[in-house]
Amino acid sequence: MSQLTALPRPTSRAARSARPARSAPQTAPRLRVVQTKDAAEHTGVGFVVLCVLLLVGGLLSLLLLNTNRAQESFAIKKLQAKSAALTDEQQQLSSEIDAQSAPQQLALRAQKMGLAPAAKIRYVRKADGTVIGVAKRSGDDSTFTVGTLPSTPASRAAGTAVSAASSGLLVTKPETLKVTKAKVAEAPKTDKSAPPAKDTKKPAKADPKPSATATKSTGDTAAKSTKPTKSTK
Amino acid sequence: MIATLIVFSLFTAQLLRIQGLDAQGVSAKALDSRLHSTVLPALRGQIVDSNGVVLASSVDRYNVTDDPTATATYKKRIDGEVVEVGLPGAAIDIADAIGVEPKPILDAMQAAYKKKSRFTYLTKNITPRQWRRIADLGIPGVYSESSTDRQYPQGTSLAPLLGWVGGNGQGGGGVEQMKQKVLNGTPGKHVYEQAPDGTMIATGDNKDTPAVDGKNVKLTLDNDLQWYAQNAIADQVKKSGSLSGEVVIMDTQQNLKAVASYPSFDNNNVGSATRTELQSKPFTSAYEPGSTSKVITMAALLEKKKATPTTHVTVPPTLTRAGTTFHDAEEHGTEHLTLSGVLSQSSNIGTMLEGSKLARGTLYHYLRDFGLGQTSGLGYPGESDGVLAPYKNWSATQRFTVMFGQGLASTAIQEASVFATIANDGVKEPVKLVKGIGEGDNYTAPADSRTPKRVIKKSTADTLTKMMEGVISKTGTAKDAAVHGYSIAGKTGTADRYDSTLGRYNGVTASFIGFAPAKNPRYIVAVTLQRPTKGSMFGGDVAGPVFSKVMSYALNKAGVPPTGKQASPYPLTYDASSSRKP
């Protein structure tokens, strides 16, 4: 519609621009009216176009923004679901670890593998490899009574261990009873000696290639532990 | 024409009413119908041991609910054809998704369907993964409600100490109850606008109040020691036919390292536990300690310089005081013991003879200072403060019996604390169970108004320790308590046990409490067994072997180098012309 009204304008404008020069002195009032009307018409077109543009632009951008927002909310939902799923997964896995690493489960599994608590523990001074003391295991048996198993779903997954326990089974004595564990200890200088550092406490057999300083002492210990020593009595 | 005008003016009036006058109410109503809110559950904090091993943790779980009237219309595409499979089909699909038997699920559906009920639980406590599998089936009428589950990976080994969490989220007993406020979080709220099809309106008003998860509680315990102790006491309770058994392990600063009691229960399944199993007996049950209490009498004698370890005591076969004739546990003729010998052979008569040198008030003062007759101040739920009557109320015989631990009652925690005080050169530290409270790896020690207190001099504590080393000697009462490679100090107890259900004394309380290595103590272990019925009843024979096992394990685990053979620094008997003990 604005196009239609706009069409005649160029001619009228041309006429207007031509006329004033010649006929201005004759009919001044008429000229003024035309001029006002013309001016109004002229500015009105721009304004309407602007308004329409603004309106259309505004609507479009609103639409775009909303579309984007909706899209983003879907993305958020998706990511949230993913995050929740991962959290669940993490929760599940860590609770499975907790259940499996409970000492009673480890004890049962260790015994199944034929492991037993160390019968003798030799404390060796790291500096010169001398035995500073021997501690024997208290009690004569190496079996555990496991009356302490939980019944979490995760631990049920550890199936065999639990069923072994629920049937009141005392896990049979493993054949290899003579597992000797050696501990390498720093020489206690005062009465308030600290426990030996963790890294030096490795059992002699578990570490075939220990560090240079430890080689001698652990090697010595392994050799000594195979024959009976008088210091044990 | 007029009619049209009237109709239109009516429309205008209505429009005015809705848009103008009632605008607020109507829009609020509309918003209300769109607005939904869900509770964001807060996860309860973990309980961990001093090394960070998880002792209790909470996980998200779902309960599956069902509206069977909707589920009955469940349709499924089978071989390209849509078939209505109804309740049985839904039950089978759900059961398959979570890996259980379909029967109970179908039963629940059908029972509710018969009653025309539109709500029933199909299964409870399934994992989020399982629920997602069910949700993916798209069965009409099947919904979920979120819940949490408390898991205790250590099970029975720690259950009485930790307690459990009830359905209302409140800790029921134990640490769960003691630290309820810290462990419990604050649930959050998620408010959102919802379209009729249930999807969230993205451009609507959304408000989130995030949930604040509970804080973690770190205990002073060592989970490995706890389990070993629990296992050892469970074994011995069965072997000796005892009613129950307890092991308490602490260090010299009185940080509890293990608090084991048997019979126990599984706090993953509280429903199956009996009432008595639920209590952590080392805290909640007080009993007459018997001879372990003699060390307090000895401490007072030494501190007040009324006797020395070598003071000669002539012990007659019986002794009559306040109209009552007292015996020793084993019949004997007149014996010539030193004060150390009295302790090592656990002579009641010898203790009475020497203890009489102490005024009632003095003895009471020491019993009290060593922590008897009061709780540890930990705030552990149901903790007993024991029984220690003010000395002015002591009966004539009680004045003597308290010297050897009868006529007063104490808990295993209190008894262990007495020995820890001696092991700590005479300074009594407050008993500690909670090491820190916090999140992740960031723990802060809880505020504690209790302060350490010197009870006896260091020299007295040293002397007393040496006297207690004699208890484990060949002639002492507890050679079975010996720990190979270490010299230990300790004391046996064999007390008459008061049975409140019978209303009279019945059976004994057998105990052994000691610490090792004697010269530089690392751990204090207290072992108590109630009413053993098989074999020997003596504390040294019943509790001694458990002590030996547990202490040996604890020392080796901590890497404490051996200190040599069991020492016995003081002579236990003295040379008298009449007789001489070997």
CATH number at residue B178: 3.90.1310.10
Query: Among partner residues A73, A92, A147, which is closest to B202 by beta-carbon distance?
Result: A73
The pLDDT tens digits of the residues spanning B428-450 come to 999 999 999 998 778 999 888 99
Residue where a domain stops, chosen among B204, B219, B234: B219
Q: Which residue of chain A is at minimal alpha-carbon distance from B481?
A: A138
Angle at B453 between CA B449 and CA B455, to 5 degrees: 155
How high is the pLDDT of residue B33? 82
What number is the average pLDDT over the span B193-221?
A: 81
Q: Supply the pLDDT for residue B223.
A: 94
Instruction: Please give, rounded to a whole number of angstroms, the shortest distance from the CA of B262 to a CA of chain A.
Output: 10
- Contact state of B156 with A150 under an 8 Å Cβ cutoff: yes
> Is residue A48 classed exposed, middle or buried when 0-12, 13-18 and 19+ CB atoms within 10 A define those classes?
middle
pLDDT over 60 at B171, yes or no: yes
Asked, for residue A142, whether it belongs to a domain, the answer is yes
Question: What value, to the nearest 5°, has the Cα angle with vertex B362 and ends B359 and B363?
Answer: 90
Task: Say whether both A79 and A171 belong to one domain.
Answer: no
Could you report the per-residue pLDDT of B179-189, keeping only the tens digit for each? 999 998 888 88
| B548–A84 CB contact, under 8 Å | no
Q: Is residue B528 a part of any domain in this protein?
A: yes
Across the strands, what pairs with B48?
B54, B218
Return the pLDDT at A36.
54
Please state, in angstroms and as integers, the Cα–Cα distance from residue B67 to each residue in A46, B85, B109, B122, following that order: 64, 16, 8, 10
Residues in chain B closer than 8 A to A123 (CB atoms): 561-562
> pLDDT per residue over B337-387, tens digit each?
999 999 998 999 999 999 999 999 999 999 999 999 999 999 999 999 999
For residues B227 and B212, membership in a common domain is answered with: no
Residues of A in contact with B224 (CB under 8 A): 103
Q: Which of A87, A142, A121 is nearest to A196 (CA)?
A: A121
Asked if B563 lies within 8 A of A146 by C-beta distance, the reply is no
Of A136, A139, A148, the CB nearest to B155: A148
Q: Which of A89, A91, A138 sits opposite B484 (nearest CB)?
A: A138
The least confident of B148-152, B242-246, B430-434 is B148-152
HSE-up of residue B515 (Cα within 13 Å, Cβ side): 29
List all residues of chain A from 14 to 43 with a beta carbon under 8 Å from chain B. none
Residues B64 and B155 both lie in one domain? yes
B340 and B364 fall within a common domain: yes
Cβ–Cβ below 8 Å for B231 and A138 = no
Give the domain-ending residue among B219, B241, B266. Answer: B219
Tell me if A105 is assigned to some domain. no
Q: Are residues B444 and B492 in the same domain?
A: yes
Q: Output the pLDDT for position A114.
A: 82
Residue B126 has pLDDT above 50, yes or no: yes
- Residue B557 tokens read as 């685990």
Question: What average pLDDT score do residues A32-51 get?
Answer: 68
Whether A156 contacts chain B with CB within 8 A: no
Domain boundary at B163, B193, B219, which?
B219
Q: What percent of chain B has pLDDT over 70?
A: 98
Structural domain includes residue A146: yes
> Mapped to the 3 state alphabet, what secondary structure does chain A carry?
CHHHHHCCHHHHHHHHHHHHHHHCCCCHHHHHHHHHHHHHHHHHHHHHHHHHHHHHHHHHHHHHHHHHHHHHHHHHHHHHHHHHHHHHHHHHHHHHHHHHCCHHHHHHHHHHCCCCCCCEEEEEECCCCCEEEEEECCCCCCCCCCCCCCCCHHHHCCCHHHHHHHCCCCCCCCCCCCCCEEEEECCCCCCCCCCCCHHHCCCHHHCCCCCHHHHHHHHHHHHHHHCCCHHHC
Structural domain contains residue B10:
no
Q: Give me the residues of A, 99-138, that contact B with CB < 8 A.
A: 99, 101-104, 107, 117-118, 121, 123, 132-138
Q: Does A142 touch chain B (CB under 8 A)?
A: no
CA dihedral (B123, B128, B133, B138) in degrees, to 10, reads 70
Does residue A28 share a domain with residue A122?
no
Q: What is the pLDDT of residues B381-407, one digit of tens each?
A: 999 999 999 999 999 999 999 999 999
- Rounded to the nearest angstrom, the gap between the alpha carbon of residue B442 and the centroid of all alpha carbons in its chain is 24
pLDDT at site B224:
93
Residue A111 lies in a domain: no
Q: Is residue A124 domain-resident?
A: yes
Residues of chain A numbered 193-222 and touching chain B (CB < 8 Å): 193, 195-196, 201
Domain that holds residue A140: 117-188+197-226
Interchain CB distance below 8 Å, B154 and A183: no
Q: Are residues B264 and B185 in the same domain?
A: no
Question: In this structure, what token pair is assigned to residue B556?
Answer: 């080796």
Residues in Cβ contact with B165 at an 8 Å cutoff, skipping those fewer than 6 apart: B44, B150, B171, B172, B176
DSSP state letter for B483:
B
Pair B436, B542 in one domain = yes
The DSSP result for B68-122, as a single string, is HHHHTT-EEEETTEEEE-HHHHHHHHHHHHHTS-HHHHHHHHHHHHHTT-S-EEE
CA distance A140 to chain B (A): 10
CB contact under 8 A, B128 and A154: no
Average pLDDT over residues B208-212: 86
Rg (CA), chain B: 34
Size of interface A-B (CB pairs under 8 A): 156
Search chain A and give the residue with CA nearest B236.
Answer: A145
On whether both B424 and B553 belong to a single domain, the answer is yes
Cα separation of the two ends of chain B: 134
Dig out the tokens for B256 from the structure: 């509890």
B483 → chain A, closest CA residue: A138
The last residue of one of the domains, among A98, A133, A156, is A98
pLDDT band at A84 (very low <50, low <70, confident <90, very high): confident
- Is B245 domain-assigned? yes
Report the SS3 class of residue B351.
helix
What chain A residue is nearest to B521 in terms of C-alpha separation?
Answer: A192
Q: Between chains, do B155 and A183 touch, taking CB under 8 Å as contact?
A: no
Domain membership of residue A121 (yes or no) is yes
Query: Mutual orientation of helices B86-98 and B128-137 as an angle, nearest 10°?
Result: 150
Sort strands B523-530 and B244-250 into parallel, antiparallel or unpaired.
Answer: antiparallel
Cβ pair B154:A148 closer than 8 A: yes
Question: Degrees (nearest 5) of the Cα angle A49, A54, A59?
Answer: 130
- What does the alpha-carbon distance between residue A151 and residue B149 come to, in Å, rounded to a whole number? 13
Cα diameter, chain A:
144
Answer yes or no: do B382 and B485 share one domain.
yes
Residue A177: predicted pLDDT: 32
Total structural domains within chain A: 2
Q: Quick check: A144 contacting B, CB < 8 Å? A: yes
Beta-carbon contacts of residue B507 (< 8 Å; ≥ 6 apart)? B243, B497, B499, B530, B531, B532, B533, B537
Are the beta carbons of B556 and A104 separated by less than 8 Å?
no
Name the residue range of residue B57's domain: 38-108+115-219
Backbone angles phi, psi at B60, to 5 degrees: -75, 140
Q: What is the pLDDT of residue A33?
A: 54
- B157 shares its domain with B119: yes
| B132 interaction partners in chain A (CB closer than 8 Å) | 85
Q: Are residues B170 and B290 in the same domain?
A: no
Residues B542-570, mean pLDDT to the nearest whole number: 90
- In this model, does residue A38 exceed pLDDT 60? no
Q: Which sign does the torsion angle of CA A104, A109, A110, A111 carry?
A: positive
User: B357 and B465 share a domain?
Assistant: yes
Band (pLDDT 50/70/90 cuts) for residue B218 is very high
Q: Do B545 and B516 reside in the same domain of the chain?
A: yes
Position B168 scores a pLDDT of 79
- From B59, B200, B552, residue closest to A91, measured CB to CB: B59
According to DSSP, residue B567 is labeled P
Say which residues have a Cβ less than 8 Å from residue B109's Cβ, sequence separation at least 6. B66, B68, B71, B87, B90, B91, B120, B122
pLDDT score, position B323: 87
Question: ipTM value of the model?
Answer: 0.76
Asked if residue B41 lies in contact with residue B148, where contact means CB atoms within 8 angstroms, the answer is yes
Please give the average per-residue pLDDT across B479-500, as a whole number. 89
Same structural domain, A162 and A211: yes
In a domain, B318, yes or no: yes
Closest to B153 (Cβ–Cβ): which among A144, A145, A150? A150
> Do B556 and A135 count as a contact with CB atoms less than 8 A apart?
yes
Residues A209 and A145 in one domain: yes
Test A152 with B151 for CB contact under 8 angstroms.
yes
Query: Predicted confidence band at A147 (pLDDT cuts at 50, 70, 90)?
Result: low
Q: State the smallest CA–CA distance between residue A53 and chain B in angstroms.
A: 25
| Closest Cβ–Cβ partner in A138, A149, A185 for B155 | A149
Q: Is the pLDDT of residue B488 over 70?
A: yes
Q: Which of A63, A94, A148, A166 to mutate to test the interface with B (most CBs of B within 10 A)?
A: A148
pLDDT score at A204? 37
How far is CA B461 from each of CA B119, B418, B488, rounded to the nearest angstrom? 69, 11, 14
Helices B544-558 and B223-240 meet at what angle, rounded to 10? Answer: 160
For B7-20, give the secondary structure using H, E and C: HHHHHHHHHHHHHH
Name the residue among A95, A104, A136 with its Cβ closest to that of B57.
Answer: A95
Q: Are residues A148 and A53 in the same domain?
A: no
